[in-house]
Structure 1
Amino acid sequence: MANTGGTFDLSGHKKLFGKDGKYIVAGIPTDALVEQSLVSDHLKLLSAFDTLRASVLYGEYVDEILPSYTEAVQGMVSSAEKAQKGSSEQNCTRWIAFLTRALARFETYISQVLNHANTQAEFHLQLNDLDLPPFFAESEYTNKMPDPLVVPDRLLPPLDVLMIWHTYLLNPSRYNEDIYLASHRSIFARYEFPLAKAARMIDNYTLEYSVAVAEPIWGNLTGESFDPLHAPSNMTSVACHVCEQPQSVSWEDLCTGDWRIKCADCNIITTPSNMRAKKWVEHVERWQQGTSDMCSYRLHGGALSAYNGRFFTTDPYAPILNRVFASGRVQNNAVGGMTQRILGESTRDVYGKVKLERKLPREVYEAAGHDMEAISQILYESVQADMGRKLSQKQHHDLYRRTSLMMSYYLELHPLSAASIDLVAATERQFRFIESIKKLGWLAPGGMPNLDNAILRYHAWLNIAGKGTKMLCPTLDIDLVWHTHQLARFYYWDMFRLVSRFVDHNDRVEKTFLRGSFNDTVDIWVREYNRPYSVCGCNEHRSKYETTKKLLSHFKGKARKKDSEGEIANANEDVTPLHPTYPSVHSAVTKRGSEAEQERNDVFDHVSPYPEMEPFFFKPAEDCTVPGKGTAGVSSENVDGNASAVCMQGAYLYGSHCSSSGWYSDPYSGAPHIAANTALGLSVDAGGSMF
C-alpha cells in the first residue's frame, strides 16, 4: 500500500504546535505527554522482561523442573504423556505456569506489601469521583486526586510482579475501574508505576533486575523469594469453593483452563468456573449492601462504559439485578436532576415497571450447580420469563446485551485474581509486541532511533483521534509511545482533557477489520498532515530512507513528489515485513483461512487499535445460549452468511441472528446515536454509554 503526502518529518507542523511551542492536540495546547527518557526507560524494562522470559524458557529456570500434576488434579494428561509432546509445548506450559505464579505474586504485592499497615497511605476513593464534569476537555485540567506518590525503593516489586502490573496498566479501562471498585486496589490510585526507578535497577549489560534494599522487606512481608527464578517451592494452594479448605496444587496444574481439583476434605471438585461463580456471588452480595445507586458498589464493567470510558451515572446492571435480588439500594434518576428514591413496586426503569424479587445470590448459585455459565443463563432466562411478552423486540435485545456485558467479565477473568481481566492471557499477548520491536533492534541500547519523532507522531495520532469517529490503528513507533503514556497515572484523565473521549487499549481485534482500520488511518493522516503515515525505518534501510528523503526535497512538483514517495513506500513494503511505522497489531485475533490469506495478514498479527467508534467485537459461542460466552475480538459470519460484528454487550449486529437464541435484528445498527443512550435511561451528556 503506497503512502502519499509530503516529507515524513512533522517537526514544526502548524497543526501540531502553538505559538508558545506547546503541542496542539484536538485544538488544546499541552506540554509533552510522554518524555523521551521515559520511552527509553520503557524499552529497557521491556528488554528485561524479554530476558526474564528467555531465562524461563531456555535458561537456568529450566533446571528447576516443575512438579508433575498432583493427584488432586483430574482430567489432565500425565507428566509422562506430556513429555512426549515435545519441548515447544513444555516451554509453553513452563511459561504459562510462570505467569500464573507471577499473577499470584502480584496479588500478594498488593495485599501484603503496598497495603501493609506500615506503608499504607491514607486515601479513600469514591466511585462517583470518576464522574467527569461537563465539557471536561475545555475546562482547566483538574481532578480530585492528589499527585501520585513515587514507590520508594524498599517497596519496589520483583521483576515478574512489575511485568503483571505493566500489563494491567496497558488495559486502562479495566485498571481504572478496578481500583475504584476493589478497596484493596485503591492504593494504585496513589502510586505511579515506577518506570524510571525500575529502569535504574536494571543492569545495562546483563539486563538483570536487582533491588538490594527491597529484597529483605519483600521476603519478610511475603515469605517468598524476591528472585522469581528461584522460588522456594513450585507448589501453591487453592481453596475449595465449598468448604474453603486449602488444597495443595502445583503451578503447572493451574496453567490450563480446564483443571479440576478434588478436595481432600469434602471430596468436591473445584474448577475455574466454580471459582468464577463464587466471585460473582460475592460481588452481588456486596452490591446488595449498597445504598446509593450513584456511588455504591457496582459489578465488573458497571462503572466505566466499555464504549466511551465514561462513568455510568446509573448502574447499567440495575434493571437486571433489581428484578432478581433483594437490596436496599436507592434508584438515581439522571433525568431532570439527580433525585433518589427507594425501589418499590411503582418503580419504573428501561424495561417498564419493576417487579421486585427477594432471591438471594446463593440461591441462584446453588441452582446453577456453582457453575458460572449456568448462572449467566439462569439470570437471563429468569428476567426474560418474568417480563414475558411485555418486552418489545428492542427490549429483548437490550436485556441480552446487558446480561452479556455483565457476565462476560466473570466468564473470562482469571480465577486466582481480583482483576476484571485475565492478566496471564494479556501478558502473553503483550509479548507479541515485544517480539515485534525486538526484531527491529529496539531492545538493544540505543537501538531505537529518533525517539523525538516517535513522540511527535504519537501527539499527531492523538490529534486526529480527537477529531474523527473512526477506529485508528497505530504504527509500532506510535504504539510504543502510547504504551508509555498508559503507564502514567493520569492517562485516563489526559484523554478526556484533550480528545474528549477515552482512548482505550483494546488488544483483541480481528485482523481483517484491523487492516481496513489501518488503511483508514493512512487516509486520515495524509489528509490532515500531507505526510506519509507508514515509511520504513528499520536499521538496515534507515540510511537509505534518509538519503531518499533529501532527494525528495529537490522535487518541486507535487505530482512528482507524491509519485516518488509512493515508490518509496512500495519499495519499503518489498524490503522488510516489519518496521517502526508498520501497523502495530500485537494481539489480533486470527481467523482460519488460506495460506495466501495468512501471508497477507502476517503484518497484522498483533494489535493495538483505537476502538472509540468501533463495535467492541464479541462473537457469541456457537450455541448462542449463554450470555457473555464467546470470543472477544472476533468478527465472523453467521449461519446465514451475513457478516456480523458483536460488541461485548451484544450490540452492532450487521444482519440478523436467530431469535431462538435470544438474538434479534439490531435496531441500532450502524453508528451509535443519542436515541440509543436515551432508550437505556442513561445520561447522554455526563454518563457512560452502552453503545
Structure 2
Amino acid sequence: MDVLTDEMSKEAPHKSEVIGQSSSERPPSYSDNQVEQPPLELPQLDLGSHLSSSTTVTRDQCIAHLKFLAVLADLRDTISSDDGLFGIHDADAERRQRYPDELNEARARIREKRWAVYTARAVDRYTKWWSIGLPQSRPMATIDDLESTDYENILICDTIVAWDTDNLPPLDILMVWHAHCLNPRNFLEDCIRYGKISTWVTGFPWEVIDRCINNHTMEYTVSEQAQRLFEQKLNIKWNNLHDPSTKQVNCTYCGRVNDVPWTKPDLGSPAQAFKYSHGYADDSFTEICVGCQRFIDHHRLKVAKFRKDLAATLYENLPMPGSFTNLQGIPKGSSIIKTTRGNLGDMLFATRIVQAVGKDLMDFTDGRVDRCKCIADLRYELSVKLWNKKILMKTHGVYLNSLRPGEKIQLRRMMSRYWENLGPFALDLVGAVIRQGTFVDKMDRIDWLHSPTVFDTMDRLIKKYEVFFRIMIENPGHMAVPTLDVDLAWHTHQLSPSRYYKYSTSKAPLGGKRTFIDHDDKVEEGKLSDGFAWTSKMYRRLTDGGVYSECTCWYCEATRTPDLYDRWITAGSVSRARAAADLLHDRPDVSSDPNKNPHISSHNAIRPTTKYYRCGLFRTMQEKRLISNYQKAARRAEKRGQRSDSKSSNSQGDPQYYMPYAFGYPIVMPFYAPYMMDPSINCHSYADNPACVNFTSADGNCCSGTCGKLFIHPAASIE
C-alpha cells in the first residue's frame, strides 16, 4: 500500500497573466490542478473603502490577506532553513541520528527551533514597538473606568493611526501583530488595558501593507528612510537578525540586569528535541545572576510579572489582567442600579480578591524571600486564602459561603495570564504566532493567489463565512469549526477589530445576550473533530443540502458518512447533500491533492499533556470510529466504480499510512488526521508550551477557563 504525504512541490511560474473573473459556468475552482502556474500579477486592489459595521469583508481584503500570508510563509522557510542561524546546525542531526525516520524528525526539529528562536525575538521586538511605536490614545484603564456606567464607550475613539509606508514596522513585528489580532478578546483586553484604542479602531492597515508587497517576488520592502526612522525611535535594528544575540533580564532577587543568550541549543533525542536547552527562548532556561549568584528562570520571572501587576492594582488602582470584559467578552460597566453580585461583580472579582489579600501576596511573591518560586506555588497560596470566609466577606462586602460560576471563571481567566505566558499581554504571543503558522502553511500550499478564479473563490468563501457566522450566533452552546476557506474570511474580519466587534455584538438572537464572538486559539483536537462534524451538519441544514467541506480526503469522507449515509431514510437536505458529495469525485475544481482543498482548519488544535487514562481512551475510540467511517466510504466508492479513477484513488489514501510533513521532512506517525495538532510543533522547542492544556492538577490546567478545579476550595468548584 502506498504511503501518502502532504507535501506537494511548487512549480516555478513562467509567464505573467492578469487575474480576472472566471467566465466558466461551473462553480469557480478552489484550486488549480495544472502542473505549471503563471506568476502572480494582480490588478490594483480596492482597500481604501470604509466599510460599515454591517459588512463582513471584501474579496480584495481577503486577497491582500493571502498575499501577506504568502510573505510570512516565505519568511518562515528562509529562517528555518538558514543553516547555523542562532548556533543551530543541520550537522547536529547527521551526527546523532542513525535511522532515516529519526534523521528526518531531527532535521525538522532543527528547522523548527530556528523559527522558534526567531519568533521569540520577534515577540520581544513587538513588545517594545507596542509600548513605544504605537500611540496611546488614552491613559491605562483604571478600576473606576470599569465601574463606570458608560464603560463600553471606552471603545469610542475619534482619532486613528495614520499609517503610511514610512511608519510601518518590520515584517516580523507585523507577523506578531497579525497573530495578536486573531485572538479578538485578548487583543481587546490589551488595547483597553494599555490605552491603544486608536490602534483598535484603525485595524490592520491592509492598503499600506499591500503597497509594500511586490506582486512578482512576494517581498515586503520599505524605504531606507522608514527603516532609519524605526531604528531611531525604538533603538532596535530593522532586521530581527541584526539585534544582539542576548536579552537583558532583571534578576528577581537583586534586580541586577543580566545579559542572557537567546538560546543554548542542545538537540538531544528527536522525541524530546531541545528539551534541555537553557537559553531565554528555551524550555529549560536557567541563568545564575552575575550579582547575587541566585537562579533566574522562567518560573520566577512569571511570579515577578504577577507581583508587578499586583502592585499596580494595590497602588495605582489598575485592574488585574483578565478583569476587563464580562463572560461574553463585552466591556460592560455597572448598571444604574448597582448590585454586588452582578456582571460587574463577576468581572472584577479577581481584582477584588487580590486587593483583599494584597499585602500577604506581596510578601509571598517577594523575590528576595523566594518563597514563591513558580505560579503553581501562587495557585496553592490563593486556594488557601479562599478557605477563609472573612476574606470572601471582605471581597463581596456581604457574608457569602460560595462563589458564583462567573466569579470562578474570572479568577481562572486572571490566572491564565500567567500560566505559560512570560510577556505583558493577555496571551503568549510566541505560541499564537506558532499556531498561526499552521494556517499560513496551508494557505501557501493551496495557493489560491495563482488561481485564475481567485476573485470568484473569494466571493464564495465570504458567503460561506456569513453562513458560518450565523451558525455561531444561533448556537452559543456549541463549538463551530471553520474550514480553511471560511477561516480565511474569519481571520480577515478579525483584523478589523472595531468592525468585527460591532458586527459580532449586533447579531445577538432574540432574547439572547450580546456576545463578542471569540476565535478560540486552543482547542483539544478531539473536540475540534467533533465540532467539525456538528458544523458540517448545521451547514447542510441552513443551506438546504450544501456540502461544508468540498474535499475528498479520507477524513472529510469519514466525517460526512454518519450524517449523509448512515440513515434508513434520506430526504430533503440530506438527499441533496448526498448527491452533491458524490459529485465531488467528478468535479475538476476539486483537487486530487487533499492539501489543495479547503477542509477542516486545525491551526488551533492542541493535544492534552496529561496522561489521564480517559483522554487516551477517548482518542483511540475516535480514531477507530473515523477509520470505520472511512472504510464505509471506500466501499461505496468501489461500488460506484470511482476507485478505478486515478483522481479518486489518490485523494482517498489510508489514514494508517498517512505521513505528514514538518518543515519539509516526512514524520512517521502511527495515526494522523487533518484535525490533529500540527506535527511541526514540538513543545520542547519553546520557552512556553504553545499547546498548553491539561485536564488534571498539572501546571496550566486553568488556561482554558473551563476546568473548574483551579482551586481546592469547595466554593471554587463548578462540579
Could you state the TM-score of these two structures normalised by the residue count of structure 2? Answer: 0.65
Q: What pairs up with 1:461-500 in 2 under 5 angstroms?
A: 461-469=468-476, 470-490=478-498, 491-499=500-508, 500=514
Give the superposition deviation at 1:393: 8.7
Matched ranges for 1:35-434 at <5 A: 35-58=58-81, 61-63=82-84, 65-67=85-87, 84=96, 86-114=106-134, 120=135, 122-124=137-139, 126=141, 144-146=156-158, 148-183=160-195, 185-186=196-197, 188-189=199-200, 191-212=202-223, 213-228=225-240, 230-252=241-263, 253-289=279-315, 297-305=318-326, 307-311=327-331, 313=333, 333=339, 359-366=359-366, 368-385=371-388, 395=403, 403-413=411-421, 415=422, 417-434=423-440
Q: Distance in 1 between matches of 2:64 and 2:389?
A: 56
Deviation at 1:576, TM superposition (A): 4.8
Give the counterpart letter for 1:518 in structure 2: F
- SS of the residue 2:191 aligns to: helix
Are 2:415 and 2:702, in contact at CA under 8 Å, matched by a contact in 1? no
Following the alignment from structure 1 to structure 2, what is the Cα–Cα distance between the partners of residues 401 and 558? Answer: 40
- Structure 1 counterpart of 2:289, one-letter code: C
**Cα deviations by residue, 1:558-604 (Å, 9 ceiling, x for unpaired):** 88745422423577899553455422121212366557669486121
CA contact (8 A) 2:147 2:334 kept: no
Identity of counterpart residues, as a percentage?
Answer: 19
Q: State the AA in 2 paired with 1:520.
A: W
CA distance in 2, matches of 1:272, 1:559: 53
Cα root mean square deviation, aligned: 4.5
CA contact (8 A) 1:473 1:518 kept: yes
Q: 1:238 to 1:443 in 2, by over 3 A?
A: farther
Task: Quote the Cα distance in structure 2 between the aligned partners of 1:360 and 1:459.
Answer: 51
Could you tell me how far apart the structure 2 residues matched to 1:277 and 1:41 are? 41
The answer (yes or no) to whether the contact 1:125–1:186 under 8 Å persists in 2 is no
For residue 504 of structure 1, report the CA deviation from its aligned partner: 0.3
Q: Which amino acid aligns with 1:527?
A: R
8 A Cα contact 1:241 1:274, kept in partner: yes
SS at match of 2:603: coil
Are residues 1:604 and 2:710 paired?
Answer: no
Distance in 2, Cα, partners of 1:409 & 1:122: 24
CA contact (8 A) 1:433 1:586 kept: yes
Corresponding residue SS for 1:522: helix
Going by fraction, where is helix more abundant, 1 or 2?
2
Distance change >3 Å, CA 82–CA 109, structure 1 → 2: farther
User: Which secondary structure state, in structure 2, belongs to the residue aligned with residue 221 of structure 1?
Assistant: helix
Cα distance in structure 2, aligned partners of 1:434 and 1:353: 41
Indicate the SS of the match to 1:266: coil
Corresponding letter in the other structure for 1:192: G
Q: Per the alignment, do residues 495 and 563 of structure 1 end up closer, same or farther by CA in structure 2, a change over 3 Å counting?
A: closer
1:444 Cα shift? 4.3
Q: Is the 8 A contact 2:547 2:581 kept in 1?
A: no
Asked if the contact 1:365/1:371 (under 8 Å) is kept, the reply is no
The alpha-carbon deviation at position 259 of structure 1 amounts to: 0.3
Letter in 2 for 1:165: W
Matched-pair contact (CA < 8 Å) for 2:212–2:222 = yes
Residue 497 of structure 1, CA deviation? 2.1
Q: Which residue of 2 aligns with 1:582?
A: 599
Q: What displacement does 1:406 show? A: 2.1
Output one character per residue of 1:300-332: Cα deviation in whole Å (capped at 9) or x when no partner: 211123x421236479xxxxxxxxxxxxxxx96
Amino acid in the other structure paired with 1:189:
W
Corresponding residue for residue 74 of structure 1: none
Inter-partner Cα distance in structure 2 for 1:132 and 1:531: 48
Report the secondary structure of 2:259's partner residue.
strand
1:400, 1:662 within 8 Å by CA — same for their partners in 2?
A: no
Distance 1:338 1:455, change over 3 A: closer
In the TM superposition, what is the alpha-carbon distance from 1:191 to its structure 2 partner? Answer: 4.2
Give the structure 2 partner of residue 320 of structure 1: none
Give how far 1:156 is off: 0.3
SS in 2 for 1:220: helix
Paired residue type of 1:603: P
Residues 337-371 of structure 1: per-residue CA shift (max 9 Å, x gap)? 999xxx9xxxxx99x99996572542021363343
The answer (yes or no) to whether the contact 1:619–1:630 under 8 Å persists in 2 is: yes
**What residue ranges of structure 2 are gaps of 5+ in the alignment?**
1-24, 29-51, 98-105, 264-278, 394-398, 509-513, 554-570, 609-615, 628-654, 656-670, 679-690
Task: Work out the CA distance in 2 between the residues paired with 1:97 and 1:492.
Answer: 33
> Which residue pairs with 1:505 in the alignment?
519
**Aligned partner letter, 1:231:** H
Shift, 1:621, TM fit: 5.9
8 Å Cα contact 2:550/2:584 also seen in 1? yes
Aligned with 2:56 (options 22, 26, 33): 33
